[in-house]
């Protein structure tokens, strides 16, 4: 995996850390988004991903490791 760069890649949901394309989170339906995040995580199989379990991720997708 390439190292996470610091370029803005969009917004992230503060509730579930999912990378959001648009104005609201597809999972939470919230508009509680942050543009200040770091670390890029792609979850393909949440049931078999330790990181996904730790972060309470239930759906495949792109997530941020840290959201401020």
Q: Which of 13, 19, 43, 64 binds Zn ion (CB under 5 A)?
A: 13
Query: What letter would DSSP give residue 18?
Result: B
Distance CA 6, CA 10 (A): 11
Residue 16 binds Zn ion, judged by CB under 5 A: yes
Among 15, 34, 40, 65, binds Zn ion (CB under 5 A): 15
* DSSP code string of 30-59: ---EES-EEEEEEES-GGG-HHHHHTT--S
Q: Which residue is nearest to Zn ion (CB)?
A: 13
Q: Which residues bind Zn ion (CB under 5 A)?
A: 13, 15-16, 18, 25, 27-28
């Amino acid at each position: 995996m390439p190292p996470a760069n610091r370029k803005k890649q969009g917004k992230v949901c503060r509730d579930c850390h999912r990378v959001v394309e648009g104005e609201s989170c597809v999972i939470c339906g919230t508009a509680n988004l942050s543009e200040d995040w770091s670390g890029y995580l792609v979850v393909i199989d949440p049931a078999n991903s330790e990181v996904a379990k730790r972060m309470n991720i239930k759906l495949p997708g792109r997530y941020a490791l840290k959201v401020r």
